[in-house]
Amino acid sequence: NFDYIAVNRMWERVMGSPLTYPVDVYVKPEKTASPSLTSYLTRLMVDLDYDLRAFQNVLFLTKTFQFAANPKAFEAGVPQAFNGRQLERMSAEQIWDSLVTLVAEKPDKLAKRKFSNNIYYNNKPILVGEKTMSDLAKEVMAIDDPKIYRDYAEALLETIKSGGGSSSASKDMMMMAARSRPGPAKGIARASELSAPAPAGHFLREFGQSDRELIESSTKEANVAQILEIMNGHVEKMVVANSGASVYGALKRGTTEADKTRYIYYAILGRPPSQSEMNMLMRDVIDGSKESYQNLVAALVQTHEFMFVQ
């Protein structure tokens, strides 16, 4: 049962819809739409020793995943034959990272989450200069007897409470460690480097980031708040009205209005505008002003082509 449910969850994550509904309910292979596929995937999961990353990689390499998504959505409650990966919106984190890429010319150079090898107890660094988190992890992993582990934990706690590492030099090191505390990045940075969950009202939360209070609590459903975020919220301030955003590099490097328009298309959608799109833009939108290019950027980041996994 566990094998099938793990397969069903991974299939839904990659292909957009599970083999059977509900996702967490076991169904015999012969009762699924494709018994042979279900049996093969279940065997594969076992053969890979439940390595979810390896299993996911196999799905990513299939032609089924690499073909264009099927734009026709399944009807709820109606049995459907699998006819390709479903068209779905990117997650909140994926959309945020895409916007960050439009803002920063080199997103990998942005601020990152700070990590520390110090041991923290009650939010304070302890045993600085004596033992690191790496040392502690090695010692704990080497213990295979529950009684020895309990004795080790009690001895460690006693050392901490008795003020282990209380010399003046050690205290100075602890003060330095406290000032350089690990923690998430702030401002413009990849979603993985920010605090999770993001504060209420943040773009990530509005677009469905998990509140991390329940399992699978993230969502890709649309709502009115998302429209406001795009029109006059984070997207407007972060990208559209930000003259320093890298997406506007075309305004400095392009020589013609058509060249600048193509550059913006490539930056946002990864393709040039079609001939009909170019004709319409040159006729009705682009007049050479800064505002006309901002209007183009605002329009493109609102498209399904930008927000959905094609």
Domain map (residue ranges) of the chain: 2-86, 119-179, 243-309
What would the pLDDT profile of 19-57 be if each residue is shown by its tens digit? 988 899 999 999 988 899 999 999 999 999 999 999 999
Q: Whole-prediction pTM value?
A: 0.76
For the segment 193-220, the average pLDDT, to the nearest whole number, is 92
The structure tokens 């890429």 sit at: 101
pLDDT at 206: 95
pLDDT at 175: 58
- Tell which wins on pLDDT, 234 or 310: 234
pLDDT at 180: 54
pLDDT at 184: 80
- Tell which wins on pLDDT, 164 or 65: 65
Residue 302 neighbours by CB distance under 10 Å: 15
pLDDT at 101: 94
pLDDT at 276: 97
State yes or no: pLDDT of 17 exceeds 90: no
pLDDT at 169: 47
* CA–CA gap between residue 298 and residue 102 (Å, rounded): 12
What would the pLDDT profile of 231-252 be if each residue is shown by its tens digit? 889 899 999 999 999 999 878 8
State yes or no: pLDDT of 111 exceeds 90: no
Q: How far is CA 270 from CA 99, 135, 179, 261, 305, in A?
A: 13, 46, 43, 12, 10
In 135-148, which positions are buried (b, 16+ CB within 10 angstroms) versus exposed (e)? eeeeeeeeeeeeee
Report the DSSP beta bridge partners of residue 114: 183
pLDDT at 172: 59
What would the pLDDT profile of 146-199 be if each residue is shown by its tens digit? 999 999 999 998 888 887 554 444 555 555 555 555 678 778 999 999 999 999
What would the pLDDT profile of 79-88 be if each residue is shown by its tens digit? 666 777 888 8
SS3 labels along the chain:
CHHHHHHHHHHHHHHCCCCCCCCCCCCCHHHCCCHHHHHHHHHHHHHCCCCHHHHHHHHHCCHHHHCCCECCCCCCCCCCCCCCCECEECCHHHHHHHHHHHHCCCHHHCCCCECCCCEEECCEEECCCCCCHHHHHHHHHCCCCHHHHHHHHHHHHHHHHCCCCCCHHHHHHHHHHHHCCCECCCCCCCHHHCCCCCCCCCHHHHCCCCCCCCCCCCCCCCCHHHHHHHHHCHHHHHHHCCCCCHHHHHHHHCCCHHHHHHHHHHHHHCCCCCHHHHHHHHHHCCCCCHHHHHHHHHHHCCCHHHHEEC
pLDDT at 159: 87
